[in-house]
Structures are given as C-alpha cells and as structure tokens.
Amino acid sequence: MAKQGIHPDYHTIKVVMTDGTTYETRSTWGKEGDTMTLEIDPTSHPAWTGGTQKLQEGGRVAQFNKRFAGLSLGKK
C-alpha cells in the first residue's frame, strides 16, 4: 500500500526569464499560479553567452598558480 501525503505538491507555475520571455512549467516550487522571476538564465549567464567567467580569474587553480608560480618541481 502506498504512503499518502509524502510527496510535495506538483503544480503549474510561470517562469519569467531575464529577457522578459515567459513560459509555464510544472514544479514543486511555490504554489499553483505563482511566478518565478529568474536573475540568471541561459540568455544572460556567461557560461552560455561566452562572456568572461570570474571563476577563471580568481578560482582555486588561479590562486594556486599565482602562489606557486616560482616553484620548480621538474627533474634536474
């Protein structure tokens, strides 16, 4: 026998993209008829638009390379 009341409510919401376009989808977010306004989406995020990514400028690898740039570990 299936358990009752263990799943979240799955309903229709409206999503507004950063460029103003909208679409309807089903989600567990909010309640029936709510509108989700996105701050970042594939039309504005650098990973999809080809813009500069901050992760490459100050990420872990960049910090490591800057810190150990003068260290030589090669065979002599």
Q: Could you tell me the pTM of the whole model?
A: 0.56
The 10s digit of each residue's pLDDT in 1-43 is 678 889 899 999 999 999 999 999 999 999 999 999 999 888 8
- Measured at the CA of 12, the angle between CA 11 and CA 16, to 5 degrees, comes to 135
Residue 44 has pLDDT above 80, yes or no: yes
pLDDT of residue 35: 97
Give the model's confidence band at 47: pLDDT under 50 very low, under 70 low, under 90 confident, else very high: confident
**Residues 31, 37 contacting (CB under 8 angstroms):** no
Ramachandran angles phi, psi of 36, nearest 5°: -100, 120
